[in-house]
Amino acid sequence: MIAKEFDVSISTVSKALKDSHEISEEVKERIKAFAKYYHYKPNSLALNLRNQKTKTIGIIIPQIVHHFFTKVISGIEHVANEKGYNVMICMSMDSYEKEVLNMDMLANGVVDGIIVSVAKETEEKGDYTHFKDLINNGIPLVMFDRVIDEINCNKVLTNDVDGGYLATKHLINIGCKRIAILTTPDYVSVGTLRKEGYENAINNSNLPLNKNLIVKIDEKLEIEEQIKKLFSLKNLPDGIFAVNEIYAAIAMKIATKKGLKIPEDISILGFTDGLISQFSSPSLSTVAQHGNTMGQKAIELLLNEIDSQETDYQFRTKIVETDLILRESTKKLKYNSIK
Amino acid sequence: MIAKEFDVSISTVSKALKDSHEISEEVKERIKAFAKYYHYKPNSLALNLRNQKTKTIGIIIPQIVHHFFTKVISGIEHVANEKGYNVMICMSMDSYEKEVLNMDMLANGVVDGIIVSVAKETEEKGDYTHFKDLINNGIPLVMFDRVIDEINCNKVLTNDVDGGYLATKHLINIGCKRIAILTTPDYVSVGTLRKEGYENAINNSNLPLNKNLIVKIDEKLEIEEQIKKLFSLKNLPDGIFAVNEIYAAIAMKIATKKGLKIPEDISILGFTDGLISQFSSPSLSTVAQHGNTMGQKAIELLLNEIDSQETDYQFRTKIVETDLILRESTKKLKYNSIK
DNA sequence: CTGTTAGCGCATTCAA
DNA sequence: TTGAATGCGCTAACAG
């Protein structure tokens, strides 16, 4: 403000800029013109301290290089900006420690609320005190995709079970008899839920649930080797449901190398509609997750909580449905009467 | 601090926490223990205002969904965190207006320095006043990848010309005679530089430079249609250099559909070592850009400038070299004697 | 209609 | 060795 003292006091300027009714039109005009001319902007730092809020929200995600997360971020950014908020992104690298560090930092007044997708290591470890502390400190939190049941907060998630069901059901419908699943270890919530959908679909059909066809990938080991085992079975699978597109792409590659034709000999279906799915050849049929929508829902819930004055604020869990995107890696449905 | 007044004054506490020599050991111990017990953390907002710095740096990129940018961000984040800085990410969506908005916001005390890759629209428009203003305001700026020559600041860039040369030269070496290039409109600096490398390589060989083989993709139109034209030439190309992996992937798809064998009939080489390149089949030979390294260099330059007291600070431009990654989409080199 | 004051939370003089 | 005062830039309450 300082320099503005070309004739009036500092607070007069402040009021004029805020169009206060208690300042004469003439002075307001002059001051506004002056401010505009010099591109005056109230200092954010001072405002932050004064208002005890920063108009920025924090996001903690495991990895920014995952296409799905970038879609979510885009969704968040878009509506956040619209509402005058900025976005601060942190990566936990799937590490518990980095997640805690990031939270501490964000919680210290840097941010008005936090959106997080839980690190794998945190899920594995099961220590959620940092989330509880955050909530106790009154900082709004929303979890998306990888969420913790026992934490009471707003949540946005993919209907993973349904997605897994949809995918598997489709493989059944196109005539696959031996359907394998490439999934994650049990502690990764989303993988496990998708597997649940897979199992439901198999059980609802007249196909047997075959343990040999369930492959839980341990990412600390060589992924390719683990998938290859599936192809050394005496009875090869004729359908594969992979809980992410990387596993699906690797499976396609191995299948092709083994001389199998996709989709004639084996149909492959992934999860998440990323770049790989679109641009691989054959292009990959997949379960679309609508990351953008998830991001939007998440930020809407968060801003809603931030703005809310209610003492008995009710947390909500929004489920974002999945869609099947059929491309070239799965056989065409023979009779469109099948359901 | 307030609550700490369990026996001493507010400033004593402040000093004790900073391990000031002018406080007795005993009191320091007690206060520190107390602070630790209650997880006391000095409020960032107050510190920011007091110190006139935020220990966070801003990044403005065109699109977060591009794999290359996520690699750069990862690189930046990593070393920023190490040095105690946080990172605020904004997207310009390749729009001039959003770029300016983001800069204004970041420049207003929110951030100690800015790293940017220029929006396409800004390059097209040629209006760089927002960058000049930023620099005049004394806010450190570093540009990476898509940079503006006439702006005087630290820069990090890919050796695009060399990358284009390397790629094209390799296609020549494996015996391609009619090498096409899929590039961007002229105003996109990186595309144009890669094309320059392409032209250099062609001119250095005994192949003719054929205008028909240079395709400038206009992303406002259907990309696929524009690439298809290449395949309706009477003389088909036997090699394609694409300035990004999307164009390369689309070209592969079209070629396959036209019944061409990759790499026997046509070799295809992309730019940027993203997921598509790794997981497409055939996997894509490509020019690796080392996004991580670029990010690291960028943040190092920025922090260097922030810390620098020198009045005659010299700006630098770091060039990150590219590497050829040979996979399945290009023919093998016949004699490894060729250079 | 305009100006003065106080305080957001901290660290840094300077005085005791 | 400790504490009181000041200011970072701003706004809202209160005075004039």
At B250-266, the pLDDT tens digits run 999 999 989 999 999 99
CA of A112, closest CA in chain B: separation in Å? 12
Residues 6+ apart with CB under 8 A from B158: B145, B190, B289, B290, B294, B319, B320, B322
What are the E-state strand segments in chain A?
A: 56-61, 86-91, 114-116, 141-144, 154-158, 179-183, 214-216, 239-242, 267-271, 285-288, 317-320, 323-325
Q: Which of A43, A245, A252 sits opposite B281 (nearest CB)?
A: A252
Write down the pLDDT at residue A189. Answer: 87
Cβ neighbours, 10 Å, residue A211: 6
Burial label for B221, CB within 10 Å (0-12, 13-18, 19+), is exposed
Cβ neighbours, 10 Å, residue B97: 12
CATH superfamily of domain region B56-158+291-320: Response regulator (3.40.50.2300)
Write down the pLDDT at residue A69. Answer: 95
Write down the pLDDT at residue A2. Answer: 67
Reported as a pLDDT band with limits 50, 70 and 90, residue A160 is: very high
HSE-CB at A128 with a 13 A cutoff on CA atoms is: 18
- Residues carrying CATH 3.40.50.2300, chain A: 56-158+291-320, 160-289
pLDDT at A339 over 60: no
Write down the pLDDT at residue B170. Answer: 97
Give the single-character DSSP code of A174: T
Q: Chain-centre distance of CA A231, in angstroms?
A: 32
Q: Are strands B86-91 and B141-144 parallel, antiparallel or unpaired?
A: unpaired
DSSP helix/strand/coil, A289: coil
Write down the pLDDT at residue B337. Answer: 46
CA distance B337 to B77: 42
Name residue B156's beta-bridge partners: B144, B318
A86 backbone dihedrals φ, ψ, rounded to 5°: -110, 170
What percent of chain B is modeled with pLDDT above 90? Answer: 78
User: What's the rounded mean pLDDT across residues B46-60?
Assistant: 95
Reported as a pLDDT band with limits 50, 70 and 90, residue A336 is: low
Question: B43-47, B307-311, B332-336: lowest mean pLDDT where?
Answer: B332-336
Higher pLDDT, B311 or A96: A96
Question: A76-80, B1-5, B159-163: lowest mean pLDDT where?
Answer: B1-5
Cβ neighbours, 10 Å, residue B316: 14
User: What's the rounded mean pLDDT across residues B62-83?
Assistant: 94
A256 contact residues in B (CB cutoff 8 A): 281
Q: Which of B45, B52, B110 sits opposite A109 (nearest CB)?
A: B45
Reported as a pLDDT band with limits 50, 70 and 90, residue A85 is: very high
Of B282, B254, B286, nearest in space to B270 by CA: B286
CATH number of this structure's domain A160-289, picked from the four choices 3.40.50.720, 3.40.50.620, 3.40.50.2300, 3.40.50.300: 3.40.50.2300
**Average pLDDT of the residues of chain B:** 92
Write down the pLDDT at residue A338. Answer: 47
Name residue B214's beta-bridge partners: B181
Residue A110 contacts B where some CB pair is shorter than 8 Å: yes
> Is A49 in Cβ contact with B49 (below 8 Å)?
yes
Q: What is the 3-state secondary structure (H, E, C) of B227-291?
A: HHHHHHCCCCCCEEEECCHHHHHHHHHHHHHCCCCCCCCCEEEEECCCHHHHHCCCCCEEEECCH
CA distance B79 to B301: 11
pLDDT at B182 over 70: yes
CA distance A28 to B80: 44
Residue A254 contacts B where some CB pair is shorter than 8 Å: no
Question: B20-24, B56-60, B182-186: lowest mean pLDDT where?
Answer: B20-24
Positive or negative torsion for Cα A301, B86, B45, A147: positive
DSSP helix/strand/coil, A201: helix
Q: Which of B56, B71, B104 sits opposite A65 (nearest CB)?
A: B71
User: What's the rounded mean pLDDT across residues B272-286?
Assistant: 90
Write down the pLDDT at residue A127. Answer: 97
What percent of chain B is modeled with pLDDT above 70? Answer: 97
DSSP helix/strand/coil, A148: coil
Q: B102 and B92 in contact (C-beta within 8 Å)?
A: yes
Interface test with chain A among B90, B134, B268, B280, by most A beta carbons within 10 Å: B280
Of B191, B159, B157, B190, nearest in space to B298 by CA: B157
> Is B49 in Cβ contact with A249 (below 8 Å)?
no
pLDDT at A223 over 60: yes
Q: B263 and B282 in contact (C-beta within 8 Å)?
A: yes
Higher pLDDT, A287 or B39: A287
pLDDT at A335 over 70: no
Residue nearest C8 (alpha carbon to C1'): A50
Reported as a pLDDT band with limits 50, 70 and 90, residue B10 is: confident
pLDDT at B339 over 50: no
Reported as a pLDDT band with limits 50, 70 and 90, residue A337 is: very low
Write down the pLDDT at residue B2. Answer: 66
pLDDT tens-place string over residues A25-66: 888 888 899 899 888 899 999 999 999 999 999 999 999 988
Burial label for B314, CB within 10 Å (0-12, 13-18, 19+), is exposed
**Average pLDDT of the residues of chain A:** 93
Reported as a pLDDT band with limits 50, 70 and 90, residue B335 is: low
Query: Which amino acid does the sequence have at B260?
Result: L
Q: Which residue has the tokens 């036209």?
A: B258
